[in-house]
Amino acid sequence: MAGIVTKKAGSGGDLRPPHISEPKIVKWILIAISIIFLCSIVLLPLIIVLFESLKNGIGLYLESIVEPDAMSALLLTITVAVITVPLNSFFGICAAWAITKFQFRGKNFLISLIDVPFAVSPVISGLIFILLLGTNSALGAWFESYNIQIIFALPGIVLATMFVTFPFIARELIPLMQAQGIQEEEAAASLGASGWKIFWRVTFPNIKWGLLYGMILCNARAIGEFGAVSVVSGHIRGETNTLPLHVEILYNEYQFTAAFAVSSLLVFIALLTIIVKSFIEWKTHQQQSQMQEVDHHG
Amino acid sequence: MFFFGKRNVLPGFRRTFGFTVLYLSLIVLIPLSGVVWNTLGMSWLDFWETVTSDRVIASFKVSFLCALVAAFLNLVFGFIVAWALERYSFWGKRFFDNLIDLPFALPTAVAGIALTALYAPNGWIGRFFEPFDIQIAYTQIGITIALMFIGLPFVVRTVQPIIQELDKEVEEAAVILGASRLRTFFRVIFPQLIPALLTGFALAFARGVGEYGSVVFISGNMPFKTEIAPLLIMTKLEQYDYAGATAIALVMLIISFAILLLINIIQAKSNKTSL
């Protein structure tokens, strides 16, 4: 039954009789609308960052990037990402293991709770840590008595970033591990493999690309988070300024070239993220079609 | 296998479940409950006066109106983009497909200053509107454009897989039975896409209401005109008015969770009908 018309017309959907698809003119109008829309909303903003940052010469561009405040902002941003991504990855793996390999009550509720940070405005994500750990709160006062500063310092920035990026990896892994089921792990367990061995030898090879995918997204958001970090950072130049906050300060001081130059660093990270993401998608697609081929022959 | 209550042979449930709940509580649940705790400390009258003051109401109006318009425009254009990417082949298709993810990957502050530079009266796009006395940056139009940038991938990436999975034979059957392409689209294709379109719309809207980074640069931040609710929270925090900031935050949280609930209901319903 499947594809009678397509098969008669030759193979491939593009060779369907013309009256089944839209008229050519409609097709070209829709493509034109798409391209114009994407250019004016997404592509041109990207190009203007590079254009504005290089407008006054490469010398000024490099100067704005190697300047000490920019460098310390870069260092802080990397530090935050290096702490946040592994912790959230570990959480994501634990949560996905518990949720997908076992049955328990309230599982769907737990999954919804993990998604909660997606629904919270970035500014509120920062606010909650001020309420919890600011100098006005009991916990904040306690930390202060030991001279530990949380808010307006690195720990606060890390906490706010962890909150904002919390669901990324778990969300990537849960559907993936759900689809893979538990038969392979059960087989390994019945052959006497230990928990760690089962994870590293059976589960991990199956989820490694999904995990990397989640980590890449988590990393991009950790580096770029603005609202939440802006609330808890205190904007101390050279100390608690991340790269996005540094961009804001430069922009508000009318140092546009410098603001766009620092932005271009973030643009490169974003482009790299997209390239890696697209590579992983290609890789998993390839794996899937290979598996299907094995299924056909087997 | 599970339904017969067989004991699971896999190890590590207690440890992974325990850590999951602990980490979730420490990072998300306990901090978030602080918003409720702190508003409980306010009297009901104070709370009501804060969230219904003219400036707060005006900021909610700006946030919701702009997010609604942006989500709607994204629904229309996002659908066209998703359709073109899935059904047509054209030059640069893969490039544009990857470009859709940029708003997810690009820091919002960078998007904010780039869009401002582009749509300012002397910017590359803004200058074409200036002769007609249309100002884009520093008005609600500018806020809407920033929110369109932020929300676009939500619509496209929700609708795209559904278009891909559409059964083309059903369309062919409709045509063979004498329906025109337009009729086929509205009677056969479109109904199948409605749940995904609604989900994408709700996700884009929810993200837009809370968005801060990309908006503050292009909005101009004039109270009663282009001041969004998250910015007002920020302003109150800077004036050490924690109670006021928390009250506004609570209202926004309740609305976001209502939207989230709505999305879950839509998805549960569409899963049921597709089975």
Query: CB–CB of A123 and B233 under 8 A?
Result: yes
Coil, strand, or helix at residue B178? coil
pLDDT band at B215 (very low <50, low <70, confident <90, very high): very high
Q: Which structural domains are found in chain B, ordered by start?
A: 43-274 (1.10.3720.10)
pLDDT band at B10 (very low <50, low <70, confident <90, very high): confident
In a domain, A10, yes or no: no
Query: CB–CB of B107 and A266 under 8 A?
Result: yes
Nearest to B102, CA basis, from B157, B160, B159: B157
Which secondary-structure segment (H or E) carries A77? helix A68-101
How does pLDDT run across A237-295, given as a tens digit for each residue? Answer: 778 899 999 999 999 999 999 999 999 999 999 999 999 999 998 988 888 888 777 76
A24 and A68 inside one domain: no
How does pLDDT run across A87-115, given as a tens digit for each residue? Answer: 999 999 999 999 999 999 989 899 989 99
Rg of chain B over Cα atoms, rounded to whole angstroms, equals 23
Nearest to B26, CA basis, from A215, A132, A136, A59: A132
Supply φ then ψ for residue A235, to 5 degrees: 50, 45
Reduce the secondary structure of B232-274 to three states and give it as a string. Answer: HHHHHHHCCCHHHHHHHHHHHHHHHHHHHHHHHHHHHHHHHHH
Query: CB–CB of B264 and A132 under 8 A?
Result: no
Judge whether A127 and A180 are in contact, CB under 8 Å: no
A236 and A110 inside one domain: yes
A42 and A68 inside one domain: no
Calculate ∠ Cα B229-B232-B234, nearest 5°.
115
Higher pLDDT, B270 or B16: B16
Using a CB-CB cut-off of 8 Å, the residues of chain B touching A4 are 169, 172
CATH number of the domain residue A106 falls in = 1.10.3720.10
A42 and A152 inside one domain: no
When divided into structural domains, chain A yields a total of: 2
In a domain, A1, yes or no: no
Q: Which domain holds residue A65?
A: 57-297
A69 and A163 inside one domain: yes
In a domain, A5, yes or no: no
Boundary-marking domain end, from A54, A71, A98: A54
Give Cα separations from A271 to A42, A85, A282, B60, B96 (angstroms).
13, 19, 17, 34, 13
B11 to chain A: nearest residue by CA?
A: A195
How does pLDDT run across A18-77, given as a tens digit for each residue? Answer: 667 788 899 999 999 999 999 999 999 999 999 999 988 899 899 999 999 999 999 999
In a domain, A213, yes or no: yes
Nearest to B63, CA basis, from B191, B239, B249: B249
- Cα separation, A151 vs A133, in Å, equals 7
How does pLDDT run across A187-209, given as a tens digit for each residue? Answer: 999 898 888 899 999 999 999 99
Interface test with B, best of A120, A242, A250 (most B CBs within 10 A): A120
Task: Give the ipTM of the model, two decimals please.
Answer: 0.90
In a domain, A8, yes or no: no
A256 and A160 inside one domain: yes
Among the partner residues B10, B98, B212, nearest to A122 by beta-carbon distance: B212
Q: What is the mean pLDDT of chain B?
A: 90
Query: CB–CB of A244 and B110 under 8 A?
Result: yes
Q: Which tokens go with A222?
A: 């950790």
Q: Which tokens go with A128?
A: 């909650």
B168 touches chain A (CB under 8 A): yes
Boundary-marking domain end, from A5, A28, A54: A54
Interface list for B 244-273 with A (CB within 8 A): 245-246, 249, 252-253, 256-257, 259-260, 264
Coil, strand, or helix at residue B121? coil
Reduce the secondary structure of A113-175 to three states and give it as a string. Answer: HHHHHHHCCHHHHHHHHHHHHCCCCHHHHHHHHCCCCCCCCHHHHHHHHHHHHCHHHHHHHHH
A123 and A189 inside one domain: yes
B88 touches chain A (CB under 8 A): yes
pLDDT band at A3 (very low <50, low <70, confident <90, very high): very low
A31 and A165 inside one domain: no
CB atoms within 10 A of CB A203: 23
In a domain, A4, yes or no: no
A37 and A138 inside one domain: no
pLDDT score, position B5 = 43
Query: How confident is the model over B51-61, as a mean pLDDT?
Result: 94
A177 and A36 inside one domain: no
Interface list for B 200-219 with A (CB within 8 A): 206, 209-213, 217
pLDDT score, position A296 = 66
Give Cα separations from A206 to A86, A100, A210, B183, B252 (angstroms).
19, 14, 8, 44, 40
How does pLDDT run across A136-175, given as a tens digit for each residue? Answer: 888 888 998 898 888 899 999 999 999 999 999 999 999 9
Using a CB-CB cut-off of 8 Å, the residues of chain A touching B80 are 30, 33-34, 37
Nearest to B67, CA basis, from B194, B270, B255, B269: B255
Among the partner residues A20, A41, A274, nearest to B172 by beta-carbon distance: A20
In a domain, A107, yes or no: yes
Judge whether B170 and A15 are in contact, CB under 8 Å: no
A116 and A75 inside one domain: yes
A121 and A245 inside one domain: yes
* Amino acid in position B135: Q
Query: How confident is the model over B163-183, as a mean pLDDT?
Result: 86
Judge whether B246 and A127 are in contact, CB under 8 Å: yes
- Cα separation, A177 vs A94, in Å, equals 12
Boundary-marking domain end, from A11, A38, A54: A54
